[in-house]
Amino acid sequence: MTAELVAPPETLPITESQKGLLVVDSLVPTRQIYNQIMQFDLDPARCDAPLVDVVRRALAVLVTVQPALRQVFGRNPDLHATLLAPPDADDLPLETIAVAPGEYAATLAEVGRTIGRTPFDLGVGPVYRFAFVHATDGSAASILLCAHHTVGDGVSMAPIVRDLDRMLTGTMTEDVETLRIARETAFRKELAAQNRVASSEKTAEKAAAWAERLRAVPPLVLYPRPNRPTQTDFAGTRISWTTDEAEAERMQATCKRLGVSPFVLLAGVYGAVVARHGGVSSVLVGSPFAARRTIGAFDLCGFFVNTLPVTVDVDWTRTVDEHLSGPVRAEIDFCRSAVDVPFNRLVAQVQPDRPRDRNPLFSCMLAMQDTFDASTATGPVIGIREPSNGTAKFDLWIGATPVNGRWQLDLDYDRALITPAVADGILDSMRTALRRAITDGSRTLAELFDDASTTQSRRTDGYAADVPAPTLSEWFDETARSTPDAIAIEESERRLTFAELAGRANRVAAGLAGHGVGPGDVVGLRLDALGDNAVAILATLRRGAAYLPLDASLPADRLAYMVNQAGCRVIIGSGLDVDGASTVAIAALESDEDVPSAADRRSGVYVMFTSGSTGRPKGVLMGHPPLLNLAAWSASALNVNADTRFLQYAPAGFDVSFQEIVPTLLLGGTVVAREPADRRDFPAMVRRVAETAVTHLYLPVAALRPFVLCAQAQRTRLPALRTFCVSGEQLLVDDEIRAFFDDHPHCALVNHYGPTETQAVTTQRLAAGDPPWARHVPIGLPMPNVTAYVVDGTGHLAPAGVAGELFLGGCSPAHGYINDPERTADRFAPGRFEPDGILYRTGDQVVRDEHDTLIFLGRGDTQVKIRGHRVELGELETVATEVPGIRQAVAAVRGDGADRELLLFLVSEAGVDHDTVREHLGARLPAHMMPALVVDIESVPTSGTGKTNRAALVELASKVRAEEPVTVAEYADDLERDLAEIWAGVLTVPTVERDVPVLQYGAHSLNIFTALGLVQQRFGVAVSVVDFFRAPTIATLANLVREGLK
């Protein structure tokens, strides 16, 4: 037969499935990903001879009588197909390879890998190619058919096998031309039937109802991480596992016992595995469902499957039996009863927000490849396989194939999204979970999994932490004795040697003893000067007591609560009057009485208060062991030593201040006061760091960028700076930050992580010489003697790539929350991973990557960070509802980095004005907890699951702010008008009035730096932040600029 016998090509409609595939195919950069490979293993002895000629002729006939293979596709006016003429056997795209028997297997595997690498031209065709590999001794032979997926599916393999069986043995009864016409007719009928059902109204209704349910399922992200690519080149790797025969029998027995199919069993287990690895409790697993409608189509090759999302809901406490025979079976029955709903229609209804070149509904697939049973084969085809073509169409794909009484599970994964270690972890979970599911159906789903190895949890950064003394106080005494004349504290006007510092601390300790302070007590510190603070800290520790920093800027009510909650009876300093505590000036405490040290390893070192969700802050009582460890680690990891000059930047109420002061002193270094530079004045800060040759600097993450930009803008080099530490919130780095470190190649950037309850516990170090820095910087590896357990949703230690909550152990946990056993027990508890110790449950979601590095992902609750300050939204809400007339308050957060701000939404009775609310909040909360915007709402919006919908509130706030009436502000002159414009731009508000403090518009220490920088650019006047802060209004700023211009 030749091409001339065939009429001009007729336009064929294509199915919805084909359309969907063609659209995706046109969007992917690597078009060969939809090349499907089928391998047909032959028994040469059962074929006619001569083998090569017989195969060539058989394949030409196969293409002739399988019209789907001859499709090519056009776009105009609509997506459609036409059929190419049947090929001539001599022109068939067929590569024939004869190899020695010893090389047969390797050659076949290699051809399997390469045959699919070249994309097809779908508009020109042909969209298939063959390879025939045979051993020269006639012992083995295989046909490989590579075709674009849009012309074939898994179910197509059986009709092809039936055709080949007859064509290779000359047993075809029909005439080829008759069969060609019959098959083309059947093909058209199937296409018509598919399109008729797809466009029916009933199908549309089904799709709409189904879509509603699918929208509630969260997206499944395997190996979640901030720098995860959104697009990939679809390069894939395959790993496999084959059950043994006993396991296959147990699978069958389980299915029989529960009355479910192997598909239900595998989908149920696979769903649980990907739910564990994706950290969700409901997943969509895509799976192809046979959707041929006409009887004639069962003899046809063609793309007639409908790939549909199977929802697997995972309740970790449910038993395997309940899971499989209940929700999983019901869901698969549902999909089967809705197999006529085309995937495209479903997608159109769900309208998911996913990258267009990936499957829009699911990222994981399960394909049952059980259409051919080789064990019953009597013809020449004795086995079939679908070799991987080295691509991955999905993030993860599992094919399940029955092979000689066993099940072979092939797992293909996208190499850009999932690393080999993570993929191995998934296959490990699949193996363990399946074995357990078929062994004991009474296990819960959580019990299908194992803990990952604790080796990763116990891995540290490798630095030493040699602690030379039992307490911080005794360590300091040793240092002071060995380097008495070295400078311990350097303030702008005064220096203290180690001998002077130790002498004063001992005298103040004697005074404290006179006030009855001893081990277990808490001493409040209300001091400004660095030297005084250092003396008071060391004196308190010498008494075996813990110090409590009291920041004068906090509301009096809050300070009183802190003092009382901590049981503090003595406050060193001035300006604070709290019932039940006596405030004593530091000078008045100095006593020459010889009082021996009462330093006590079991006592606390300090009490630091942090936001508490119930409306009251929590006081963390930190002990000696974690802090000794931190100090010793600082020596080896941060090179803190006698040459160190550590700038003291952090406010005393931040635990970072401890790390700046105490380890530096213990290791013989100098602590350099920040003053006279104001903390908010970056130009002054940069000058201070440069002038005092600071070697170590520790800033909140939010201050890193302003600081380095300021240094770059002022062209200030900091040649002494060696270690630049940051912490407080997620560190994001960009080219400008990197540029600073490129200019300071001797200086490392060290990202610290650690809640107040454990102090700093993990670090990630970045250096100029490193390869490109990831924008989202990991939190790194734990310090020595610190353990970090990532516990996933099943309660097990998470393998690499699986997100979970971070539990911190080893020596790191604090004693707990002071005088609050209930909240302490909730967060500090023995864990099964460390039976003899206490683990602190952080509430932080993290993932450990394949290099054991920890990556911070976010919070599992409503704790947020505002410019490095930890804020429990619940605390702001609770305090707001204390205002009479406020029925409900919801806090939310908007924006990123330094621009992040708090929003407060109020459901209130008429007559509650915002000034009253702000006044109440101001009297109880620190400045960083004040909302930037207060919005009245009638009711609190909720999501489908009944949770407060904060996203909707944030959107509402943006709308409110955009709709705020623009008041026509009045200014004294053009200068004020220009300055107001600069501020309005920085704060993204319509206008800034001349006499209203900019803080009320959302200004804070960091964007003040930006605004003043712009003022300097425009007017050439460097306004001092401190001067501006005295009355931060446009009017003040205008006066300062005028003065500068004089």
Closer to other proteins by Cβ: residue 371 or 881:
371
Closer to other proteins by Cβ: residue 189 or 354:
189
What is the side-by-side order of every strand in the sheet holding 71-74?
11-12, 80-83, 71-74
Minimal CA–CA distance to 706: which of 730, 684, 673? 684
* Closest CB 186 distance from other proteins, rounded Å: 6
Q: What is the DSSP string of 724-751?
A: EEEESS--B--HHHHHHHHH-TT-EEEE
Minimal CA–CA distance to 471: which of 534, 541, 547, 533? 541
Positions in the binding site for other proteins (CB under 8 A): 155, 182, 186, 189, 192-193, 255-256, 259-263, 289-296, 298, 333, 336-340, 370-371
* Closest CB 338 distance from other proteins, rounded Å: 7
Closer to other proteins by Cβ: residue 249 or 478:
249
Minimal CA–CA distance to 588: which of 552, 634, 654, 539? 539
* Closest CB 196 distance from other proteins, rounded Å: 8
Closer to other proteins by Cβ: residue 259 or 884:
259
CB neighbour burial string for 485-504, b if at least 16 within 10 angstroms, e if fewer: eebbbbbeeeebbbebbbbb
Minimal CA–CA distance to 695: which of 647, 758, 749, 753? 647
Instruction: Give dist(CA 764, CA 751) in Å, integer.
Output: 5
* Closest CB 378 distance from other proteins, rounded Å: 14
* Closest CB 225 distance from other proteins, rounded Å: 39
* Closest CB 193 distance from other proteins, rounded Å: 6
ω into 625 cis (within 30 of 0): no
Q: Tell me if residue 429 falls in helix, strand or coil.
A: helix
* Closest CB 240 distance from other proteins, rounded Å: 23
Instruction: Give dist(CA 497, CA 483) in Å, integer.
Output: 9
* Closest CB 306 distance from other proteins, rounded Å: 9
* Closest CB 384 distance from other proteins, rounded Å: 14
* Closest CB 296 distance from other proteins, rounded Å: 4
Instruction: Give dist(CA 647, CA 689) in Å, integer.
Output: 7
Closer to other proteins by Cβ: residue 255 or 284:
255
Cβ contacts of 526 within 8 Å, gap of 6 or more: 550, 552, 571, 572, 573, 574, 575, 576, 583
Closer to other proteins by Cβ: residue 292 or 827:
292
The answer to whether residues 310 and 267 touch, using CB atoms and an 8 Å cutoff, is yes
* Closest CB 259 distance from other proteins, rounded Å: 5
Closer to other proteins by Cβ: residue 281 or 294:
294
Closer to other proteins by Cβ: residue 255 or 523:
255
Closer to other proteins by Cβ: residue 193 or 952:
193
Q: What is the DSSP string of 600-669?
A: -TTSEEEEEEE--TTSS-EEEEEEHHHHHHHHHHHHHHS--STT-EEEE-S-TTSTHHHHHHHHHHHTT-
* Closest CB 234 distance from other proteins, rounded Å: 29
Instruction: Give dist(CA 30, CA 53) in Å, integer.
Output: 34
Instruction: Give dist(CA 931, CA 793) in Å, integer.
Output: 33
Closer to other proteins by Cβ: residue 256 or 1030:
256
Closer to other proteins by Cβ: residue 341 or 879:
341
Closer to other proteins by Cβ: residue 340 or 655:
340
* Closest CB 249 distance from other proteins, rounded Å: 13
Distances (CA, A) of 216 to 90, 282, 924, 943: 55, 9, 40, 10
Closer to other proteins by Cβ: residue 399 or 804:
399
Burial of 83 (0-12, 13-18, 19+ CB in 10 A): buried
Cβ contacts of 164 within 8 Å, gap of 6 or more: 40, 58, 62, 143, 379, 380, 381
First to last CA, the chain: 100
